C-alpha cells in the first residue's frame, strides 16, 4: 500500500514538474481516465516528456483543457496531485490572475466544449447512479421481487428518480461555479425551479403573474437548459453588481440582489425561451433519426472515438440529456454503445496476431481493461492509435454497429450510464431495441477483432 502511494506521488510530482509547476495550473478535475488541467500557459508544458512518464498513456490538448490520460488509476493520480502544495482541486483558482493565451480566447469551439464539459462532468456520476438505480427498481418489480405498492419500491424509486427530478439544483451548482458565480446561489435558483408550489401552479394551468407581468411557467424538474442559462445570467449580474456597489455594501447585498434580479427574469424570459430551444433540438434529433437512421447511426458511431479523444463529446451528451428530460428519449447516443467493445476487440486482434511479447501483453491487458473495466483508453492509446489500422477498424465497426442499433429503433428511455458486460442485461431487457443494441455491440467487437487480426503485421512495430 505504501509503495503504491509512493508511486502515485512520484507520478504526480513528475507530471506537475513537466506541466510547468503548480503556478501554471489554474484548475484540475478528472473524468474516468484523464486528469483535466486548465493551464495558465500550455506553452510551458513539456508534452513529450509527460508522454514518456511511466503511468501516462498520452496527452490530449482539446476544449481548452490539457488532458493527461492515466487510465484506470486516475483517481489515485488525482488525489496524489492534490497533495502537492499550491494546487487547488476542482474549480478555477481565482487568486491566479494569469491571462490565458490569446488564441485560446478566440476559439469559440474550445469555449463551448470547455463550458459544457465543465458543467456536466461533475454531475454525470450522480446521473449515472440515478439511472442505474431506476433500472434496478424496474428489474426488481418486473421479476416480482419487490411489489410496486410496497414502501421498499418507493424508497428504491426515490433513490433513482430524485437525482433526475432535482437535476436543476445539481446543475445549478456546477454551472454557477463554471461561470464564476457562487455555486450555492446557482443551487438556490435550481431549488426555485423545482419548488413544489411553482410545480403545482404549472400543473394547474392557472394564469401566473409577477408584478402584473405574465409568467409562462414550464415543467422545470428534470430540465437542463433553463438552469444553465439562468446561471449564466447570475454570473453576469453578480459581476456587474460587484463592479458598481461599494465593497462593504456588496458583501451583504449582492447575493440578495443576484437572486432578486435573476430569478424573475429566468421565470419570465429564460425559462420559456430555453424550453422552445430544447424542444426544437429534441425534435430535430428525432427527425434526423427518422429520416436516415442507418446513416446517422453510422456517422455518430464512427466519429465517436475521435470526439472523445478531442474532448468534444460532451456537447452531444448535453443534447441527449436535454432530449431525455424533454421528450423521454435518447435516440442518437445508443449508436455510440459499440465503441468501447470495438476498441477492446481491436486490441485483442492485435494481441492474438503479434509475436512481440511486449505488445501481446499490452494488447491483452487493454482487452481485459476494456471488457471488464469498461475503460477503452488502454486499447486506444496503448495499441490501436499507435498502429493506426486497428484504430480505423474499431471506428469502422463502431459505425456499423451504430447503424444496426439505429435501425433497430434503440432508445434510451432510462439513463443507465455506461454500457458494459455487467450492465448489458439491463440495456437489453429494459430499453426499446435492446436486441439491436446487443447485436450492434457484438458486431463492433467481433468485426474489429477479426479485421485487426487480419490487417495487423509485426512489421508495423518498427515503423
- Going residue by residue through the chain, which has 463 residues, state the pLDDT in tens, using 9 for 90 and above: 343 444 888 999 999 999 999 889 888 888 777 888 888 888 899 999 998 888 888 888 876 789 898 877 788 898 889 888 878 776 544 434 444 444 445 467 667 777 877 888 788 778 778 877 877 787 788 778 888 888 988 888 888 888 888 989 999 999 999 999 999 999 999 999 999 999 898 888 888 899 989 998 888 887 888 999 999 999 999 999 988 988 888 888 999 999 999 999 999 999 999 888 888 877 787 788 788 889 999 999 998 888 877 666 767 777 887 777 777 788 888 899 999 999 999 999 999 999 998 889 889 988 988 888 777 878 888 889 888 899 999 999 999 999 999 999 888 877 666 787 877 887 888 788 889 999 999 999 999 999 999 999 988 876 4
Residues 6+ apart with CB under 8 A from 292: none
| β pairing state of 209-210 and 213-214 | antiparallel
What are the residue ranges of CATH 3.30.1360.60 in the chain?
2-106
- Which of 296, 299, 286 is CA-nearest to residue 329? 286
Q: Which three cell numbers stand for residue 221?
A: 424538474
pLDDT at position 403, please? Answer: 95
Q: How far apart are CA 144 and CA 102, in angstroms?
A: 61
Contact 63, 104 (CB under 8 A): no
Could you tell me the CA-to-CA distances from 364 to 254, 316, 358, 391, 444 in Å, in that order? 58, 31, 10, 16, 18
Rounded to 10 degrees, the C-alpha dihedral 340/346/347/348 comes to: 110
Crossing angle of the two packed helices 124-142 and 151-165, in degrees rounded to 10: 150
| C-alpha 391, offset from chain centre | 22
Q: What is the pTM of this model?
A: 0.69
Give the H or E element holding residue 37: strand 34-39
At 379 the three-state DSSP class reads helix
Residues 6+ apart with CB under 8 A from 417: 127, 128, 129, 131, 132, 423
pLDDT at position 109, please? Answer: 65
| C-alpha 308, offset from chain centre | 10
Half-sphere exposure (Cβ direction) of 88: Cα atoms closer than 13 Å: 14
CATH fold of the domain at 2-106: Gyrase A; domain 2 (3.30.1360)
At 182 the three-state DSSP class reads coil
Amino acid at each position: 500500500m505504501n509503495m503504491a502511494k509512493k508511486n502515485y506521488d512520484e507520478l504526480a510530482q513528475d507530471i506537475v514538474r513537466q506541466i510547468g509547476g503548480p503556478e501554471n495550473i489554474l484548475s484540475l478535475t478528472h473524468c474516468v481516465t484523464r486528469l483535466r488541467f486548465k493551464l495558465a500557459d500550455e506553452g510551458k508544458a513539456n508534452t513529450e516528456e509527460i508522454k514518456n512518464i511511466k503511468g501516462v498513456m498520452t496527452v490530449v490538448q482539446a476544449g481548452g483543457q490539457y488532458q493527461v490520460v492515466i487510465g484506470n488509476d486516475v483517481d489515485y493520480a488525482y488525489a496524489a496531485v492534490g497533495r502537492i502544495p499550491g494546487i487547488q482541486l476542482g474549480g478555477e483558482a481565482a487568486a491566479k490572475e494569469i491571462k490565458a493565451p490569446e488564441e485560446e480566447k478566440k476559439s469559440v469551439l474550445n469555449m463551448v466544449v470547455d463550458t459544457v464539459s465543465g458543467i456536466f462532468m461533475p454531475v454525470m456520476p450522480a446521473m449515472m447512479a440515478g439511472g442505474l438505480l431506476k433500472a434496478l427498481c424496474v428489474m426488481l418489480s418486473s421479476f416480482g421481487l419487490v411489489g410496486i405498492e410496497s414502501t421498499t419500491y418507493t424508497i428504491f424509486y426515490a433513490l433513482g428518480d430524485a437525482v433526475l427530478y432535482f437535476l436543476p439544483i445539481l446543475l445549478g451548482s456546477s454551472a454557477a461555479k463554471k461561470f464564476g458565480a457562487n455555486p450555492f446561489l446557482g443551487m438556490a435558483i435550481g431549488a426555485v425551479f423545482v419548488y413544489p408550489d411553482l410545480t403545482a401552479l404549472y400543473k394547474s394551468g392557472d394564469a401566473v403573474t409577477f408584478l402584473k407581468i405574465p409568467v409562462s411557467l414550464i415543467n422545470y424538474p428534470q430540465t437542463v437548459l433553463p438552469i444553465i442559462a439562468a446561471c449564466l445570467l447570475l454570473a453576469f449580474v453578480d459581476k456587474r453588481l460587484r463592479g458598481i456597489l461599494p465593497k462593504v455594501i456588496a458583501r451583504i447585498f449582492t447575493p440578495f440582489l443576484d437572486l432578486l434580479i435573476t430569478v424573475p427574469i429566468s421565470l419570465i424570459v429564460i425559462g420559456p425561451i430555453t424550453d422552445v430551444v430544447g424542444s426544437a433540438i429534441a425534435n430535430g434529433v428525432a427527425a434526423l433519426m427518422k429520416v436516415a437512421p442507418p446513416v446517422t447511426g453510422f456517422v455518430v458511431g464512427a466519429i465517436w472515438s475521435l470526439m472523445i479523444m478531442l474532448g468534444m463529446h460532451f456537447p452531444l451528451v448535453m443534447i441527449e440529456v436535454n432530449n431525455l428530460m424533454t421528450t423521454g428519449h435518447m435516440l442518437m447516443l445508443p449508436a455510440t454503445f459499440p465503441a468501447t467493445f470495438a476498441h477492446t476487440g481491436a486490441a485483442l486482434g492485435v494481441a492474438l496476431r503479434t509475436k512481440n511479447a511486449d505488445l501481446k501483453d499490452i494488447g491483452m491487458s487493454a482487452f481485459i481493461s476494456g471488457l471488464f473495466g469498461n475503460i477503452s483508453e488502454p486499447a486506444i492509446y496503448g495499441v490501436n492509435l499507435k498502429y493506426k489500422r486497428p484504430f480505423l477498424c474499431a471506428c469502422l465497426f463502431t459505425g456499423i454497429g451504430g447503424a444496426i442499433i439505429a435501425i433497430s429503433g434503440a432508445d434510451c428511455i432510462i439513463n443507465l450510464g455506461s454500457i458494459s458486460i455487467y450492465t448489458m442485461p439491463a440495456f437489453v431487457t429494459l430499453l426499446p431495441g435492446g436486441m439491436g443494441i446487443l447485436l450492434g455491440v457484438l458486431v463492433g467487437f467481433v468485426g474489429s477483432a477479426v479485421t485487426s487480426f487480419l490487417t495487423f503485421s509485426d512489421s508495423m512495430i518498427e515503423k
